[in-house]
Amino acid sequence: MRLGRIVELSQVQAAAAAFQFLSRLPLPLRFVYTDDVFRRSTVYYPAVGAVIGILLSAAAWIFGQLLPPLPAAAVLLAVWVALTGGLHLDGLMDTADGILSHRPREQMLEIMKDSRSGAMGVMVCALYLLVKVSLLSALLAARGTPFLWLLPLVPTWSRWWMTAGIAYWPYARANGGLGGFFRGVGTRHVAAGAAIALALTLAAAAWSGRSWPAGPGHAAAIFLPLVLPAAAAGSGWLIAAYCSSKLGGLTGDVYGAMNEAVELTLLLVLALAWT
């Protein structure tokens, strides 16, 4: 019984660590952050994405009722950034500063450690947010679609891919860096996270099918959620492979950049489907 309680407690700590690390959702639990807690927490990354996505869907419905599509999309994007504290955007900017400097590998890694944002990071972030708000605006304008049921899948699968990136690509830094705490994450963590993400995907497919009227689009509404995991894996693999070829592996900043890139890809898939 004692062993069971210890295992159960460690899983609670891991889930809490995932929410505290990846979001700004209030979770007043205190415990010691160990390497084992960090590794276990990656299993719950899709769950964090799912909760963020459900909150975003609720916000999208409210703002969509009160505002035209473009202002609603801008406010929704602000909520999206606030829920994560800009954590992944910071990684995107640092990665852009390093990778787009076209310097030798060691210099790229040093640039990415610098807390100051460079010109390339600012430009990439600005363009990224512009594209993201335009996609959200297009989706909010397409009223009568099951978009609200599918939006939670975007942050869910993007965070699952972070676990896959941690597991299947080496860590680029020999010493230091937050990403070093995740050494030892493997296929079992990726598979457990995928099970959580897949359960939400199947539920979204069922609900989107119910909310979409009968006709040619009905089958597509059910099938589309199953396309998103493939799109997440495909786009995530491209980003990870490219960054790894430049850096000799991935870093914590790259994990955040991958999350943002996969989110944008999945929003693009939804926008293409509905427009």
143-168 pLDDT per residue, tens: 656 678 889 999 999 999 999 999 99
Question: What would the mean pLDDT of 170-183 be, rounded to a whole number?
Answer: 75
With a pLDDT cut of 90, the percent of the chain lying above it is 61
Rounded CA separation 69/76 (Å): 10
- Within a domain: 93: yes
| % residues pLDDT > 70 (the chain) | 87
Vertex 270: Cα angle to 264 and 274 (nearest 5): 145
The residue length of the chain stands at: 275
Residue 196 one-letter amino acid: I
pLDDT-derived band at 175, boundaries 50, 70, 90: confident
Residue pair 159/48 in contact (Cβ under 8 Å)? The answer is yes
CB atoms inside a 10 Å sphere around CB 158: 30
Is residue 181 included in any domain, yes or no? yes
Report how far apart, in Å, the C-alpha atoms of 161 and of each of 105, 143, 145, 204 are.
24, 29, 26, 19
Q: What is the pLDDT of residues 217-262, one digit of tens each?
A: 555 666 777 889 999 999 999 999 999 999 999 999 999 999 999 9
Domain membership flag for residue 184 = yes
CA 31 – CA 17 distance, rounded (Å): 9
User: Which residues, 6+ apart, have CB-to-CB distance to 67 below 8 Å?
Assistant: 75
Element (H, E) at 127: helix 119-141
17 domain residue, yes or no: no
Per DSSP, the residues of 129-170 read HHHHHHHHHHHHHSTTSTHHHHTTHHHHHHHHHHHHHHHHS-
| pLDDT, tens digit, 9 for 90 and up, residues 92-148 | 999 999 999 989 989 999 999 888 888 999 999 999 999 999 999 999 987 656 678
Name the nearest CA neighbour of 184 among 38, 83, 59, 78. 38
Give pLDDT, residue 222.
65
What are the two backbone dihedrals, phi and then psi, of residue 212, each rounded to the nearest 5 degrees?
-95, 130
Phi, psi angle pair for 102, to nearest 5°: 55, 35
State both tokens at 20: 């505290």
pTM as predicted: 0.90
- Between 71-75, 177-181, 188-192, 208-212, the lowest mean confidence (pLDDT) is in 208-212
Q: Considering the domain boundaries, does residue 12 fall inside one?
A: no
Q: Are 112 and 97 in contact (CB under 8 A)?
A: yes
Give the model's pLDDT for residue 107.
Answer: 92
Tokens of 263: 């989110």
Residue 128 falls inside a structural domain: yes
91 located within any domain: yes
Contact 246, 95 (CB under 8 A): no
Q: Which domain holds residue 250?
A: 42-274
Q: Give the residue from 163, 161, 154 showing the smallest Cα distance to 268.
A: 154
Nearest C-alpha neighbor of 147 from the set 71, 79, 84, 63: 63
Residue 24 counted as domain residue: no
Please state the domain count of the chain.
1
Q: Look over the chain and give the mean of its residue pLDDT values, rounded to a whole number.
A: 87
Asked whether 232 and 162 are in contact (CB, 8 A), the reply is: no
Could you read off the pLDDT of 66-92 as tens digits, one per residue? 999 999 999 999 999 999 999 999 999
Confidence of residue 1 (pLDDT cuts 50, 70, 90): very low
